[in-house]
Structure 1
């Protein structure tokens, strides 16, 4: 079995990464061949942002250039473009997973990409990694060729008319909304230093990574002023008293982020999720929460509650920082389904009662 040390060595091959042995124990990372370094104060070692910076520098110093007119060339051109550089770190990472998966066919000429070729790639991705990844592969290929059209690297978009892989009918809903009881149970089980980021997700519908990375400067007297990391959409929301109380209850810290771990340092996503998984497991075992609870599900929870309150989709889009109203509809669809089903069943019951009065009793 491959050890964590071996995995890390393979992942950062060609790099020298170490921490000073004397205070202030700063991290340092150097590309061995070029001696280009990573700013470890900006990109914390072994985080997602650090990995993306490592990958960016590795790409700059690749010996082999992609062949002209191939998929590899298109990917390389796109990765170097302002369009890609403007994407959020998480989005870049998601794109890179697809680029890595496409690596075996990167020498394929662009003219070989037809609608059927892309459909077969989607099917292969579905068999290997599931329907969600398959649809993401199709989406990334589409955006690549669409971008290529603008710069005359491609002549058409072969993925444009390729359908999505079907979602398995027996698959549970991903990131389902939390019940009120589950929200209360988790809040009660969380230690004080973990409550502020949870409340940012629970009340402000921030993505887990956005909540953990929220800087202190984003909070003012009027409330929270930030942007969603994934879409870049602005989010302006008033400060809720329960979050203020939670912040007052935790020890003061010098981290640049609003929330900090038990050591007073900024949370990493892996660090927070590890603690969350441990707490969730205990709550599931006790029956306090049902299986399938995710931090991302809190965004769906906020959208569902807002819709149940009668808020329109434009308002939900504003609060959640969605780029489109369609996403607001998607996140609040359970509330719509519940409301529609409730009205239908009430009317159905009334109809049954009406019919009951029309039944003629025998002998009358």
Structure 2
């Protein structure tokens, strides 16, 4: 038998005496029963595999370019440890940057990044543009220690401000909306909403919460986005909702109607269909989101008088500023009214103390002469 050789492919006989063939660079195997060695079909398949490999190689990020820096960041442990939804958002941002992925590193500077930021704002909106800026900041930060770029050129780029006339995303749910949604939701959706509503957990963290993270009357976990530990007491209301939910074999606390662990996209799809139906029936106003339940918890606690640090601890936030963000819609009118009453009383007392008495007033010189 004549030995056939094809550049870039390894052709050999395995330990069982059977002929094998694969592409060395990609590891792609050729089915020799379908494409016999030496046949026209075999050589055609080799050319197809080689062409695909060359096309993939051409699309791959090049070393010394912006695309190469992004790819390096995606391979870091930091990126791999991010929440699934965050990784997805960053990948979307990387897709937006694909048209300039071959930009050489030596031309990257703050004005260039600022220009990319401005263009992104026009094309994909202010929020996504800020996410592109954040991705670039992370990419530069993690490539500086490797000596691949000199500085974080995204750090001094000013984030785009939210338009003043734009309604807040993830607004808190009203009590009426909660009373309408929960009774109408199917059991596997209702318990998920109840969990988010009574803990302030991020939707992705709630869906991924495992049964072994429930210890007695406490939920122990780590917020995936910040890595902050959380310890959330299980309220009687939440316990009642959990008790009504049928048992299932999934490792997670929540499960679909099939008893399987939810995926974020799966639950979001079910929730969206349910929400749209309620909107069409005129039962709820547009704007309800799963993330809004987290804002609802923060807002309720802020109105109750809790300080931002305590709210941040419950939500798993590193800084109180994020707790302030989540509770920005809190109705503080009554609390501020009480504060103003205290201020008014203090001012009245101060006025009495500094007001001069009649005896302390000295007659002027003209009065002495008269």
| Superposition pairs of residues 187-336 of structure 1, within 5 angstroms | 187-335=182-330
Residue 77 of structure 2 is aligned to residue 82 of structure 1: yes
Aligned to 1:119: 114
CA displacement, residues 325-361 of structure 1 (integer Å, 9 cap, x when unaligned): 21111111222665677679999xxxxxxxxxxxxxx
Q: Distance in 2 between matches of 1:327 and 1:66?
A: 36
Is the 2:140–2:152 contact (alpha carbons within 8 Å) kept by the matching residues of 1? yes
> Conserved in 1, the CA contact under 8 Å of 2:173 and 2:292?
yes
Are the counterparts in 2 of residues 317 and 323 from structure 1 also a CA contact under 8 Å?
yes
Query: Residue by residue, what CA displacement relative to the aligned partner does 1:32-87 show, whole Å, maximum 9, x if unpaired?
Result: 8389xxxxxxxxxxxxxxxxxxxxxx9xx967653332112211221222222222
Superposed displacement of residue 149, structure 1: 2.0
For residues 272 and 34 of structure 1, the distance between their equivalents in structure 2, rounded to whole angstroms, comes to 38
Structure showing greater Rg? 2
- Segment of structure 1 superposing worse, 62-71 or 127-136: 62-71
Confirm or deny: 8 A CA contact 2:183 2:190 kept in the other structure: no
Q: Secondary structure at the match of 2:231?
A: strand
**Alignment partner of 1:163 is 2:153:** no
SS in 1 for 2:221: strand
Q: In 1, Cα distance between the equivalents of 2:123 and 2:285?
A: 29
Q: Distance in 1 between matches of 2:148 and 2:306?
A: 45
Supply the distance in 2 between the matched residues of 1:320 and 1:143 (Cα, whole angstroms): 24
CA-to-partner distance for each residue in 1:153-206, whole Å, 9 max, x for gaps? Answer: 111222222112232222111000111111111111112222221111101011
Contact kept in structure 2, 1:192 and 1:246, CA below 8 Å: no
TM-score (norm 1): 0.74
**Change beyond 3 A, Cα 1:286–1:32:** farther
Report if aligned partners of 1:90, 1:230 keep a CA contact under 8 Å in 2. no
| Cα distance between partner residues in 2 of 1:306 and 1:282 | 30
Specify the SS of the correspondent of 1:150.
coil
**What's the offset of the Cα at 1:106?**
1.2
- Contact conserved, 1:71 with 1:105, CA < 8 A, in 2? yes
Indicate how the Cα distance of structure 1 residues 192 and 338 shifts in structure 2: closer, same or farther if over 3 A, else same: same
Written as runs of structure 1 = structure 2, the 5 A alignment for 1:59-138 is 66-138=61-133
By how many angstroms is 1:317 displaced?
Answer: 0.7
Work out whether residues 212 and 257 of structure 1, in 8 Å CA contact, stay in contact via their aligned partners in 2: yes
User: Aligned in 2, Cα 1:110/1:342: closer, same or farther, shift over 3 Å?
Assistant: farther
In structure 2, relative to structure 1, the CA distance for the partners of 1:321 and 1:62 (3 Å cut) is: farther
Q: Distance in 2 between matches of 1:132 and 1:147?
A: 23
Give the Cα–Cα distance (whole angstroms) in 2 for the partners of residues 344 and 319 of structure 1: 26
Size of the aligned set, in residue pairs, is 293
In structure 2, the residue matched to 1:7 is none
CA separation of 1:140 and 1:77: change in aligned 2, threshold 3 A: same
The DSSP-based 3-state class of the residue aligned with 1:120 is: helix
Distance 1:342 1:134, change over 3 A: farther
Are the equivalent residues in 1 in contact too, given 2:69–2:139 (CA < 8 A)? yes
For structure 1, the residue ranges without an aligned partner over 5 or more in a row are 1-30, 36-57, 348-364
**RMSD value, Cα:** 2.7
CA distance in 1, matches of 2:242, 2:101: 50
> What corresponds to 2:358 in structure 1?
none
